[in-house]
Amino acid sequence: DADVTQTPRNRITKTGKRIMLECSQTKGHDRMYWYRQDPGLGLQLIYYSFDVKDINKGEISDGYSVSRQAQAKFSLSLESAIPNQTALYFCATSASGKSTDTQYFGPGTRLTVL
Amino acid sequence: GENVEQHPSTLSVQEGDSAVIKCTYSDSASNYFPWYKQELGKRPQLIIDIRSNVGEKKDQRIAVTLNKTAKHFSLHITETQPEDSAVYFCAASKGSSNTGKLIFGQGTTLQVKP
């Protein structure tokens, strides 16, 4: 879905470095999510945000932080990257409301920590 | 917390045969159950979803069934085609009127042999 974009698409970094992954959306959705995907483990929720002032931890938030700079932008940071954070990271968006549960995913960022 | 179990982890069928993927969830408050398809190197995309007030939903060759009593839902693909080959994820949520968080199963890799 071209309405949800992520940068960078690929990143190789070293242990201990600070990394920021960015997500932008033009869907006008108020809710945004960050997931991590590892082989055989599905998608695990890292953080989610219902609006600019509402940030919530997901299942695996340790070692990560987020910033919701605007309704359309949600960034994920690794303050000090470690090798087991090597994974595929997806941003997703959804709209609040009873009949609008669908989440739309960005193209993903493949992160390798050496 | 909420947990979603998905089986099988891999499934190989002959073109034209049917494929069934099963998921169970733990939180009886879950009321929204989407299925996502992820092709190699691509983002997860919604293919069908079902809400707790219905037991079955169909969309051409794809159908989903829900048994709320057993906390079990399944994806059925009939007349499989090679382009159906992908990883399929089930998920469960309490809906956007709640947190809207999706809890994903571990994924099923479907291979359709020509």
* Six-digit token string for B90: 């089930």
Cα(B59)–Cα(B22) distance, integer angstroms: 18
Q: Facing residues of B13 across strands?
A: B112
What mean pLDDT do residues A17-44 have? Answer: 92
Q: Point out the residue among B42, B96, B104 whose CB comes nearest to the CB of A43.
A: B104
**Per-residue pLDDT tens digits for A59-96:** 899 999 999 999 999 999 999 999 999 999 999 999 87
Residue B61 has pLDDT above 80, yes or no: yes
pLDDT at res. B97: 65
* Six-digit token string for B63: 């159908």
Q: Point out the residue among B42, B43, B101 whose CB comes nearest to the CB of A45.
A: B101
Helix (H, G, I), strand (E, B) or coil at B62: strand
Residue A16 has pLDDT above 90, yes or no: yes
Cα(A9)–Cα(A91) distance, integer angstroms: 12
- In Å, how far is A75's CA from the nearest CA of chain B? 18
- AA identity, residue B13: V
pLDDT at res. B53: 83
pLDDT at res. B2: 81
Q: Facing residues of A10 across strands?
A: A110
